[in-house]
Amino acid sequence: MRTHEDWLAEASKVVVPARPFIAGRFVDAGATTFENRNPATGALLAEVADAGAEGVDVAVRSARTTFDSGVWSRAGVSFRRERMLRFASLIEQHAAELAVLDSLDMGKRVVDAHDLDLPFSVNLFRYYAEAIDKINDEVAPTPPGTLGLIRRVPLGVVGAVVPWNYPVDMLAWKVAPAMAAGNSVVLKPAEQSPSSALRIAELAVEAGIPEGVLNVVPGLGETTGQALGLHPDVDVLAFTGSTEVGAYFLQYAGRSNLKQVWLECGGKSPHLVFADAEDLATTAKQTAFGIWFNQGAVCSAHSRVLVQREVHEEFVSLVAAEAASYAPGDPLDPASGMGAIVSPEQTDRIMQYVGGARAAGARLVTGGERLRRDGSDCYVQPTVFDHVDPASALAREEVFGPVLAVTPFDTEEEAVALANDTAYGLAASVATSNLSRAHRLAERIHAGTVTVNGVDAFSVWTPFGGFKGSGFGRDLSLHALDKYVGLKTVWINH
Ligand code: NDP
């Protein structure tokens, strides 16, 4: 296992990419640049080119040319499978470098990037590579003398716009199924975390994936992101990020070419803890993980805990005791419990919610302070507020930081009503030893994923996505492929 010193040495070696990757090479595109800073120290990592509308256009044209040539879109599935498996192995070989790039860019613990994010992404590329030669098209039961074929065809150019919280994974969740289906992709990473995506695009070419299949255009949302959303030659736009920006993409599609839009937006996921939970101490550990892992920057973070009154006081103490394991520190130090918050602006935003909760009369149980270290003040203590008013901002809005809102309840009916009283519907978890209650709640809670006796479960084999303000369309599993293919009916009369 690597030590702090090993990771510091690794970090001193990395080259931080700063130019768009289009048609198989880094190119000069975009008239302006933006700063990529390490939030853990404030140090400037790179001045990155903002691809802008011009860069997006070059990238989309490259993707289209490659798609139309058929070198990938009409290549045999064995060819795509073999190249994608090679690509996955190259990402695996470069896991340490990619983990460091993500950690430097957006402040996450490097060991989490290396031990969790990277293996998940590698596995995901392998999963879709292996899936594509095992899915058959269909023959419909049409009348004699006719043959009705139902074929799955790639759609063309896929635009992907992703956030900063899991840079490598968010890329893999979009790119792996889109690429496996035969499409060409233009990906815009978040402005805070462009580095790993640019490096991965380079690895794709090294793996023998044809130039133009994966293009990466760094840039700002209002310039490069918007240009991709509005581009008339993008067929599909897959987005992960805030609900507000997700709604822009629907507008962009309406104003341009009716491109298909898939949205994986935010959440305010509830964790319902009943007095009959099998083991409160284990549940408290799960609660802590559900809100403090990745500095709370998880779209399905379980940021609301609803606790039955009989065990409420005991449970809150157990959760508060877990805070010590999540003390923030140097993201490159495996001993740190949490890393840095992505930017000063996001840290300000989190602290506004902390201030608002105090002002609204919630009880601060632990944390609540912004910390300074290594020349940066992008660190926030793991925080718990109790007796949070369900109508308050902390109970209703996505903080995207390590701040937990606890609200007690008395009856199951009340718990379900509180859980569903939200603009979101991404995930929910339930702790109970009552089997009937588990099934009842799995049925009644309106969320894309309900986990019983665990928190925020997800896997490569199961769909992930939400209802209501959390968006639509599913990432992961074979179902994700549906977003990147169209059904074509072919009639042969004979
Ligand atoms: P955004 O929704 O603002 O950003 C997601 C992506 O969209 C980024 O690549 C971003 O670019 C781009 N984008 C931003 N504005 C536009 C625009 N007008 N047109 C086109 N593209 C745009 O999320 P943030 O990263 O800024 O975080 C803000 C909030 O969103 C968080 O606090 C959290 O509440 C939520 N969020 C949810 C995530 C999830 O996984 N569900 C992930 C990240 C955030 P750029 O980086 O340049 O802004």
Span 282-332, pLDDT tens digits = 999 999 999 999 999 999 999 999 999 999 999 999 999 999 999 999 999
Other CB atoms within 10 A of residue 491 CB: 10
Average pLDDT (254-271) is 98
pLDDT at 176: 98
Measured in angstroms, how far is the CA atom of residue 438 from the centroid of ligand 1? 34
The C-alpha atoms of residue 191 and residue 15 are separated, in whole angstroms, by: 17
CA atoms within 13 A on the CB side of 445: 30
The secondary structure of residue 483, as a DSSP letter, is G
**Phi first, then psi: what are they for 204, rounded to 5°?**
-60, -45
* pLDDT band for position 138 (cuts 50, 70, 90): very high
Measured in angstroms, how far is the CA atom of residue 426 from the centroid of ligand 1? 17
Measured in angstroms, how far is the CA atom of residue 416 from the centroid of ligand 1? 30
Q: Which residue, by CA, sits nearest to atom 44 of ligand 1? A: 241
Chain Cα centroid distance, residue 205: 24
* pLDDT band for position 238 (cuts 50, 70, 90): very high
From 67, 18, 91, 105, select the one nearest 186 (Cα to Cα): 67
* The one catalytic residue among 10, 191, 211, 264: 264
DSSP H helix total and E strand total for the chain = 16, 22
Measured in angstroms, how far is the CA atom of residue 165 from the centroid of ligand 1? 10
Measured in angstroms, how far is the CA atom of residue 189 from the centroid of ligand 1? 10
* pLDDT band for position 30 (cuts 50, 70, 90): confident
User: What tens digit of pLDDT does each residue of 44-58 get?
Assistant: 999 999 999 999 999
Average pLDDT (269-276) is 98
Asked if residues 199 and 95 have their Cβ atoms less than 8 Å apart, the reply is no
Average pLDDT (467-473) is 97
| Tokens 């058929």 found at | 70
Average pLDDT (461-468) is 97
User: And the tokens for 224?
Assistant: 């490069």
Q: Establish whether residue 367 lines the binding site of ligand 1, counting it when its CB lies within 6 angstroms of any ligand atom.
A: no
Asked if residues 236 and 263 have their Cβ atoms less than 8 Å apart, the reply is no
Q: Establish whether residue 220 lines the binding site of ligand 1, counting it when its CB lies within 6 angstroms of any ligand atom.
A: yes
Q: Which residue, by CA, sits nearest to atom 29 of ligand 1? A: 242
The C-alpha atoms of residue 483 and residue 492 are separated, in whole angstroms, by: 27
Mutate to test the pocket of ligand 1, among 228, 245, 262 (most ligand atoms within 8 A of CB): 245
Q: Which residue, by CA, sits nearest to atom 22 of ligand 1? A: 221
Q: Which residue, by CA, sits nearest to atom 42 of ligand 1? A: 241
* pLDDT band for position 5 (cuts 50, 70, 90): very high
Measured in angstroms, how far is the CA atom of residue 331 from the centroid of ligand 1? 22
Start-end of H helices in 240-343:
243-255, 280-292, 309-322
Checking if the pLDDT of 373 tops 90, the result is yes
**For residue 66, which amino acid is it?**
T
* The one catalytic residue among 10, 211, 299, 378: 299
User: What percent of the chain has pLDDT above 90?
Assistant: 99
The C-alpha atoms of residue 361 and residue 74 are separated, in whole angstroms, by: 61
User: What tens digit of pLDDT does each residue of 141-155 get?
Assistant: 999 999 999 999 999
pLDDT at 72: 98
Average pLDDT (33-47) is 98
**Exposure string (b/e) for 362-399, b if CB count within 10 Å is 16 or more?**
beebbbbeeeeeeebbbbbbbbbbbebebebbbbbbbb
Q: Establish whether residue 30 lines the binding site of ligand 1, counting it when its CB lies within 6 angstroms of any ligand atom.
A: no
User: What tens digit of pLDDT does each residue of 432-458 get?
Assistant: 999 999 999 999 999 999 999 999 999
299 a catalytic residue: yes
Position in ligand 1 atom list of the atom nearest CA 192: 46
Checking if the pLDDT of 31 tops 90, the result is no
pLDDT at 431: 98
Q: Establish whether residue 191 lines the binding site of ligand 1, counting it when its CB lies within 6 angstroms of any ligand atom.
A: yes
Q: Establish whether residue 400 lines the binding site of ligand 1, counting it when its CB lies within 6 angstroms of any ligand atom.
A: yes
Which helix or strand (DSSP H or E) is residue 386 part of? strand 383-386
The C-alpha atoms of residue 6 and residue 128 are separated, in whole angstroms, by: 33
Q: Which residue, by CA, sits nearest to atom 45 of ligand 1? A: 221
Higher pLDDT pick, 248 / 29: 248
Q: Establish whether residue 164 lines the binding site of ligand 1, counting it when its CB lies within 6 angstroms of any ligand atom.
A: yes
Residue 297: C-alpha distances to residues 180, 213, 341 (Å): 28, 30, 8
User: And the tokens for 140?
Assistant: 């419909």
CA atoms within 13 A on the CB side of 447: 29
* pLDDT band for position 367 (cuts 50, 70, 90): very high
The C-alpha atoms of residue 18 and residue 51 are separated, in whole angstroms, by: 10
Checking if the pLDDT of 29 tops 90, the result is no
